[in-house]
Amino acid sequence: MWLDNVSQEAIDRFWQQCGEPEPFPRTLGKSVSLALPVAITKLPRLKLHIIEGWLAHCGVSYSFNCRSRAVRGCLIAYGGHGTIFVDGADPDDEQRFTIAHELGHFLSDYLIVREAAISKFGNAIRDVLDGLRHPSVTERVHAALASTSLVIYTNLMERDETINSAHPGVWKIEDRADRIALALLAPPEEVLAIADTSGDNFHARHHAMMRVLCERFGLPAQIADTYAWSLLEDTGRGPSWVEMLRSR
């Protein structure tokens, strides 16, 4: 299954709350403002200390407790609300994917987890989730078993991806956020409906799909490259064993 049921339900609910899906290529800005308590803030040449300064200017004292560095994006969520920071100096296609990726984290790693905790313990757990009181023993046990993230949730989208060397648990979380991002920006069924996969060799099929992903759906070339390969393999139009041998 390309998306797990929970992620697909989150996406379906997101578009229902918007009223209707955006036309392509999607920017998600207006849709996010309609569907979720999430703000999108674009700051040029985004770095951690710039985010900290922006928060301080808004009266929020927060530190990442690490060396400042450049990032493509950042999600900070608290009290059921979130802010997605984006490097406004990035090209439009990179900004588009950054927003979608961080939105994937908000939906799957914060909002769904928070709603599940409230559903299990009732509204009284909100104060625990927001750091206003300590959890009871029972709440602590259940939160640990469910890997519930309490108080402030943060996620950073690095400029230099090192996901292949990351802890398997981190890779799984990032892969899910990527899948949600792609499902929001370029749903597989929409891509396959218009992409030409009839080429007599994998290079031609891959090039044709990449072109559609970049021009019609507005994906960055590097993301489109990997996504096109995945979609073609999933539909039985991936490289033949001979083409795989030649590529080595």
**CA distance linking residue 222 with residue 177, whole number of Å:** 16
pLDDT per position as a tens digit, 56-84:
999 988 999 889 999 999 999 988 899 99
CA 183 to chain centre: 10
pLDDT per position as a tens digit, 176-223:
999 999 999 999 999 999 999 888 889 999 999 999 999 999 999 999
Residue 84 forms beta bridges with which residues?
Answer: 40, 75
Across the range 4-19, mean pLDDT stands at 90
62: left (phi over 0), alpha (psi -120 to 50) or beta: beta
Number of structural domains, the chain? 2
**CA distance linking residue 26 with residue 35, whole number of Å:** 15
* 126 vs 13, more confident: 13
Clarify whether residues 235 and 246 are in a common domain. Answer: yes
Clarify whether residues 80 and 164 are in a common domain. Answer: yes
Above 50 in pLDDT, residue 2?
yes
Across the range 140-169, mean pLDDT stands at 62
The last residue of a domain, from among 168, 185, 202:
185
The last residue of a domain, from among 144, 163, 185:
185
- Pick from 103, 95, 87: which is nearest to 37 by CA? 103
Return the H-helix or E-strand segment holding 118.
Answer: helix 112-121
Residue numbers of the domain that contains 240: 187-248
Report pTM: 0.88
**CA distance linking residue 73 with residue 177, whole number of Å:** 13
* 173 vs 212, more confident: 212
